[in-house]
Amino acid sequence: MKPQDIIREKSSLWIFGYGSLVWKPDFAYRRSKVGHIKGYKRRFWHGDDFYRGDKEKPGRVVTLVEDEDACTWGVAYEVTGSQVEESLRYLNVREVEGGGYVTAMVEFIPREKGQGALSALVYIAASDNPIYLGPAPDREIAAQIAICRGSTGHNAEYLVRLADFMRLCCPEVQDEHLFAIEYFHVDKHSDLLTFFLLNCAPQI
What residues act catalytically? 95
| Residue 92 DSSP one-character state | I
Which residue, 169, 167, 158, 165, is CA-closest to 196?
158
Cβ atoms within 10 Å, residue 68:
7
Instruction: Tell me the C-alpha distance between 85 and 146, whole Å.
Output: 36
Instruction: Tell me the C-alpha distance between 98 and 162, whole Å.
Output: 20
Residue 118 buriedness (CB in 10 A; 0-12 / 13-18 / 19+): middle
Distances (CA, A) of 114 to 79, 155, 170: 22, 37, 17
Terminal Cα distance for the chain, rounded? 29
